[in-house]
Amino acid sequence: MVLHHPRATTEGRTLHFYWLLVLHHPRVDCARKTARRPWKNSTKGWARSRVATVLCFSTPLMRYVLFDWNRIREKWLPEIEASMQAMIDEFSPAGSTLTLMSNYHLSTGGKRLRAILPIAVAESYAKDPQWMLPFSCACELLHNATLVHDDLQDGDTTRRGEETIWVKYGIPQSINVGDALLYYAIGALNKMEVPPAKIVELLSMFVQGTIQVIDGQEREFLLIENPPSMENYFTMVEGKTSGLFAIPFCGAAILCDAEPELVKKMSQASRHLGVIFQIQDDVLDIYANKGRERKGSDIAEGKRSVLATYTLLNADEKDARFVESVLNAKRENVGDEDIENVSRLFLSCGALDFALDEIQRRVVCIETLLEGESKVWNISNALIETFLKPIENLNLSPKKESL
């Protein structure tokens, strides 16, 4: 028996999802029950059914070819943390406070997705993950360099429940720490035991990817200055966020001697992975707790998230003007009531619907790109599930409950 999921089409071709293979998986059972009546159970039912549909029906085959992301994380995370600290100690001058400040930032935690990803690729290619460790550290250090600078540029005072670097040590030192983490990353890259030609290839990809990320960061500020555009939003995300997944995903594949055509497909898939991650991050900031100073910090900051951009483009004129006025206000002048009202407008105008539909569309794009590439296909699916887990059980009111 074959299930034809109504949204799972690409270029006119219906993707066949093999129901018997996933029929008895508990999340599939839950999705089948809630998807039939998303409005009737509770205010959680609507959001749960939408995200569960993405998790279950858009990526069903990972239910019988499971990639154990948590096992890899639990096994290798302590070594990754120790290796990053050792590299910071090694590359820092004796007595430098860069060591203290960099280790403080890293101690605030994080999922370490960019560090785990190369380890997963190494395992998939039957390579020694220990050998891949310097590259894993390089990717994670680069990511954290961007976070330090991002916190300063956005004015965020809290990350993962702790003071950000610029708040704790001052603005000049936060610039220094971000710069240092970038060069620690390059130092870690050079510790890979591979032929010099491979290092040159890797370094070239690393530099190009980093410039792509910085360009995306610059484009984020242009979103505020220019009229709202969904195309510009996705271009920004495919630089700022996608670049930080392309580097570990494709770089690890290069190190494992993957075919150039596969690396190209992985680079294209990484664009979609970054968008999926950013959309869930946009949603998480408004409707859950990201460990920032308050829920809805993106609204107070004036960020043109996927939800804000869609609302500015599609809400009626009065509501759009109200949302824009809140986004353009000074951060300290945006109250909790403003954030709550804007959040409700995101729901009532269909912005969250659009965001979840876009996630689903991007998942199908990834599956199409990596179809038949078993070494990396399962990794991308496990990563998607990890991305979406935080928003799986959001407590949302249905969109029909308008202001």
Q: Give the DSSP per-residue string, 292-304.
A: SSSTTHHHHHT--
Q: At what angle do helices 171-189 and 97-107 cross, to 10 degrees?
A: 90
CB atoms within 10 A of CB 109: 12
Nearest Cα neighbor of 334 from 155, 186, 197 is 155
Average pLDDT of the segment spanning 56-67: 46
Question: Residue 3's pLDDT band (boundaries 50, 70, 90)?
Answer: very low
CATH no. for 69-391 = 1.10.600.10
Instruction: Report strand pairing: 13-18 vs 158-159.
Output: unpaired
The domain spans of the chain are 69-391
CB atoms within 10 A of CB 160: 14
Contact predicate 212/204, CB 8 Å: no
Q: What is the pLDDT of residues 78-130, one digit of tens each?
A: 999 999 999 999 999 999 999 999 999 999 998 999 999 999 999 999 999 99
Compare 368 and 11 and report the one with higher pLDDT: 368
Q: What is the pLDDT of residues 126-166, one digit of tens each?
A: 999 999 999 999 999 999 999 999 999 988 899 888 999 99
CA 335 from chain center: how many Å?
27
The kind and range of the H/E element at 3 are strand 2-10
- In the chain, the percentage of residues whose pLDDT exceeds 70 is 79
Q: What is the pLDDT of residue 291?
A: 58
